[in-house]
Structures are given as structure tokens and as C-alpha cells.
Chain A
Amino acid sequence: MKQRSDSRFISFVAQFKQNRAALAGATIVLLLVFVTLFAPQLSPHDPIKACLDERLTAPCMEYPFGTDQLGRCIFSRVLYGSRVSLSVGLIVVGIAATIGVVLGIISGYCGGVPDEIIMRLVDAMLAFPSLFLALAIAGILGAGFINVILAITVVEWTRYARVMRGSILSVKENYYVEAAKSLGASDFYIVTRHIVPNAITPIIVVATLGIATVILAAASLGFLGFGVQPPTPEWGMMLNDGRLFMRRAPWLMIFPGLAIMITILAFNLLGDGLRDAWDPRLRERRRER
């Protein structure tokens, strides 16, 4: 039975609002964006300036998260570190999703030889453990912001290609695609007007969850020394720096670690929430009534 409601979007929002975990995730993500944008205004100290007199200070009023082995303010470094993590996350997902979506569309819509080539390429990429592949690429290209992005993108695009292909394949089966074809519409028109708008939703969910994966991968590369180079603050690298002082000054590891954890948790909660709210089966079940 069909029911009237103004739009799917409204029911999506209503569904999302009921999910407290997802709302919490969304709030933290917004907070993170705010922190990233206003890191200079929010930071009490210069994140790079060493102050050797204040080395390894425990958290106090002056240094809320304490200082590191060079006397740098960890609170400020964590705030600034969010810039690297978030921008790596967004840029990588942006590039990887674009590549993946385009290849997924070609693969799913054209089928045949292009599909075989693209999917075997995806299989080949997936056969490597992704972090090792990224490490190898970072190792060859050398460390640094751009190379981190490249290394992770090379691994990441595959998931978007696969999701997009699957989504295209199922949307393609709809009669309205065949109907458009019999109207004499071109392939390009059919893809852009009828297929992609109906197939893109899962990509948004995968991308949100993907940001978390990328941030973690970037932090791992940073931890292993293949990330952004010092003195730019980066959470993974901060963790590694703190490793030596784990017993004496645990705050060196605790705060960047927490930052990574909370960020990833937030994106995962948000992604899960989006997926649940968009899940066609849930909506179908409501419509049946």
C-alpha cells in the first residue's frame, strides 16, 4: 500500500533523527570540521615551537594535554593534527570516489570487455593487503602529504568502483531504463539522467565510512614514518613520537590516540546512520503496511 508523504528526503531525515548514535556521530564530525577550520584561533600555543624548558610537562592549566619531548603543546598539536587527518580523508575519498564511480559506471553499464578489465584490476588491487600496498607506494615515492594521498587513493578507489558497479547493475534492470532506451535516448543521457541519480546513494554511505578508513590509514603511515614530515603535527606521527616516553609521559600517546579513535568512531557512526536511514529494505517494510 502506498502512503503519501512530501518527499523521500523528509522520511530519510525523520529516520536519521531517531538514530541517536548517528546524531552523536554527526555532531562530532561537525565539531571536528569546526576545530580544523579554527585551529589557529583555538590553539593556546604554537604547535611547532619547541620550548625545551617545558619538556614532558604533565597536563595542567597551561598545557591541557601536557607537552612532548620538545616541550610543544600537545593540545595545540592535536588540534592542528586534525587538519592533516581531515584533509587527507576528504581529498583521498574525493579522488578515490570520483575515479571509482566513473570506472564503476563504465564497468556496470557497458559490461563485456571493459567490465572484465576493470573488475580484474580491482581484484588485483584487493589481492594486496591494502596497508602494505600503500606502504610500498609511499616507500617508492617517498614520504610527504601528497604521496600519502596518492598511496592511499591507489588502494581506496576499488571499493567505490565495486559498489557503484553493483548499484548500476541493479538500477539498470528497471523498466524505466529500457523505456528511455526505446524513446531513442542516447546512452549518455540514460546514464546521467536515469541510472546515476538512482544508483549514487550507496556511494555516499561508503564514502562516509571510507573517510574513517583513510584517516586510520594515514595515521598508520604517519606512525610508521611514511606520512607527513615533521614538524607538521600529525596524529600517527605523534603516537610514534610518544612511544619512547610511554611510561614516563603517557599523555604523549593518550591524546593523539583518543583523537584518532573519536574521529573514526564519529565517521563510522555517521556512516552507519546514513546507511540505516537509506536502507531500501527498511523503507519497503514501512511501505508494505
Chain B
Amino acid sequence: MSLLSITQLKVHFPTQDGIVKAVNTIDLEIANNERLGLIGETGCGKTVLGMSIIRLLPPSTTIEGEIRYKGNDLLKLTEKEIRKIRGKEIAMILQNPTTSLNPVLKVGDQIAEAIKLHQGLDRRAAKAKAVEMLEAVKIPDATKRANEYPHQFSGGMKERAMIAMGLACDPAMIIADEPTKGLDVTVKKQIVKLMKEVTTQKTMLFITHDLGVAAEICDNITVMYAGELMEYANTEAIFKNPMHPYTQGFLNSLPSMGLKAIKGMSPSLIDLPSGCRFHPRCDFADAKCRTEHPELIEVEKSHYARCFQYA
């Protein structure tokens, strides 16, 4: 049974230059204990999709559709009710730990804060739990480290602290937004390993632009482009048999896969192309692709693609 199910989700927000159509009619299911990778490039709307699940979007945003978590529509909850979900049921691990950690609070206290809020522990117990969490993310000498400030932590350590904070209240689901961005190769490897370990009994939506990282961690992968899901399959199938031309192009442009570029650039979410959103950059595009909009269809068992080649 799916823990989270998103149906017909549309997220748009107005700006001076026009309406940004960040999420366009997305359907997505995440099963209990599934780790789903959401892959996409800058400006494809993947972060907005993640944020809309716990409703961390500006008030001017218009959201349509349903996001059902354990059967309840999160979009219908009051502000007070959603706050109980955030952190406790669904936790978010944000990118850029440098700005996501408060520089004037000790790391341990920041984690304890979240624990106090949701679990009703007193200060001392919360702090003890925080140290325990730092140990869980393999920060050596956790008792001492808990009393240090973020600037005393290295980039990798901060990311570990962010993960500890996300896990602190033992949430059922985690949304991780580019937790490996900007990390060095060796540190990234460690963080990936850690993420993999700590989420074995969890449901996770793992948002990233890094296919290699997603491959390490995720069971299934879905590829997002211009506010839409272009492909969905298990991790092995995405790599062995990518169906959508965008997925193929994306894979081929990796340095390890030959560095063959996709022509052109991602469209603006304000001014989306007609027909298939990818047609201006697609080598296989024909007249139909320019005018008609393809649906996401199940091509093989549990392998979906949004392309007329398979229609």
C-alpha cells in the first residue's frame, strides 16, 4: 500500500514575469519503505514538488489536486494540523546545510529543539536524544560535538547534523532535497552510504540532479522535466533501459557515459513549449510531438514513459 499518493497535482505561482508552472498534473505513489529518486535539472520544479508535500510554499501559490498521506489529504489540513505532520511524520532534509543550520545555536540544541517540539521530552532528555542522533549519523565524539556551533563543523559534518535533525523525531517519511550538493567526492560517498543505512526502514523521496547518487540509494527513480514526470521505473531499468529520449540524453551527457550533450536548454516554467515539453531538444521529435501532449503510459510492467514512441 502506498504511504503517500499524489494525484493530479498542479502547483503554480504568480510572479512579475508571469505564472510559473512548476508542477503540472503530476501523479505519483510512494509505497511504504520505498526510496524513490526524483531526478531533474535546475528549474524543472522538483524542489517545488517536494516542498508542496509539506506545504512549505509561499501563500500566493495555487495548488490543485490531492496529496494523500496515510489516506488524509495534506492539502486540506489546517496550518496547525500540518505542523504536526512536519518533522514528526514527514521530515525534510534540506540542501545547503550552511544556511539551514542556525549559526548562533549549538548543533545539539538545534536538534533537541525539534525533539522537544514533537515528543514532549524535557530539555535534558531531548539533549540526550540529540546526542544519540548525532551518534547515529556517525559523528565521532558526539557528546562534545553537540555543544559546538555549526561553523565548527565541516561541510560533511553539517550535512550529517542535518540528517540527524531530520531523523530526530523518527518520521515515517523523509524528503531529502539534494543532500549531497556541493560536497566533495569522498565526503559525498560517505553521506550516500549514511543515507542508505539510516533509511532502510523508512520511506524517502530523494530529490537530486545526481543520477549516480540516486542509483546508490533509491529503489525506484522518476525523471522530471519542465514540471512533468517523463519516466518512472525501478533503478536498474532506468539505467539499463532508459525509454524517454530525455532520460537517454541525460544519461549520455554524464562524463562517465561519453559526455554527449542534449542540444538546447531547459524551457522556462513560465513559457512552456507546446505538445511534448521536450520536443524542442529531442532528436526524435516529429509533427505530432510539436502539437500533441503525450501521456505517461506503462510501457513495460512498472516502467512508465511519456513519449509517443511507445504509444
Q: Which residues of A contact B (CB under 8 A)?
A: 1-5, 11, 14, 286, 289
A-B contact sample (7 more), CB < 8 A, given A3-B15, A5-B16, A286-B15: A1-B42, A1-B268, A3-B268, A4-B268, A11-B16, A14-B16, A289-B13
Residues of B within 8 A of A5 (CB): 16-17
Q: Which residues of B contact A (CB under 8 A)?
A: 13, 15-17, 20, 42-43, 268-270
Complex Cα spacing A289 to B13, Å = 9
Complex Cα spacing A3 to B15, Å = 10
Complex Cα spacing A4 to B43, Å = 14
For B20, the closest partner residue in chain A by CB is A289
Check if A1 sits within 8 Å of B43, measured CB to CB.
Answer: yes
- Residue of A5, A14, A289 with most partner-chain B CB within 10 A: A289
Complex Cα spacing A11 to B269, Å = 20
Interface residue SS majority, chain B: loop
Sample 22 A-B pairs with CB under 8 A, ordered by A number.
A1-B20, A1-B42, A1-B43, A1-B268, A1-B269, A2-B268, A3-B15, A3-B16, A3-B17, A3-B268, A3-B270, A4-B17, A4-B268, A5-B16, A5-B17, A11-B16, A14-B16, A286-B15, A286-B16, A289-B13, A289-B15, A289-B20
Distance (whole angstroms) from the CB of A1 to the closest CB of chain B = 4
Residues of A within 8 A of B43 (CB): 1
Residues of A within 8 A of B13 (CB): 289
For A15, the closest partner residue in chain B by CB is B16
Residues of B within 8 A of A289 (CB): 13, 15, 20
Residues of A within 8 A of B269 (CB): 1
Residues of A within 8 A of B15 (CB): 3, 286, 289
- Residue of A2, A3, A11, A286 with most partner-chain B CB within 10 A: A3
Complex Cα spacing A5 to B268, Å = 13
Complex Cα spacing A105 to B107, Å = 40
Distance (whole angstroms) from the CB of A15 to the closest CB of chain B = 9
Distance (whole angstroms) from the CB of A124 to the closest CB of chain B = 32
For A10, the closest partner residue in chain B by CB is B16
Residues of B within 8 A of A11 (CB): 16
Complex Cα spacing A231 to B15, Å = 57
For A1, the closest partner residue in chain B by CB is B43
Distance (whole angstroms) from the CB of A46 to the closest CB of chain B = 53
Complex Cα spacing A14 to B16, Å = 9
Complex Cα spacing A1 to B43, Å = 6
Residues of B within 8 A of A1 (CB): 20, 42-43, 268-269
For A3, the closest partner residue in chain B by CB is B17
Residues of A within 8 A of B268 (CB): 1-4
Distance (whole angstroms) from the CB of B269 to the closest CB of chain A = 7
Distance (whole angstroms) from the CB of B13 to the closest CB of chain A = 7
Complex Cα spacing A173 to B17, Å = 30
Complex Cα spacing A11 to B16, Å = 8
Complex Cα spacing A2 to B43, Å = 9
Complex Cα spacing A5 to B13, Å = 17
Distance (whole angstroms) from the CB of A49 to the closest CB of chain B = 56
For A286, the closest partner residue in chain B by CB is B15
For A14, the closest partner residue in chain B by CB is B16
Distance (whole angstroms) from the CB of B16 to the closest CB of chain A = 7
Complex Cα spacing A11 to B270, Å = 17
Complex Cα spacing A184 to B248, Å = 44
Distance (whole angstroms) from the CB of B11 to the closest CB of chain A = 11
Distance (whole angstroms) from the CB of B274 to the closest CB of chain A = 19
For B61, the closest partner residue in chain A by CB is A289
Distance (whole angstroms) from the CB of A59 to the closest CB of chain B = 48
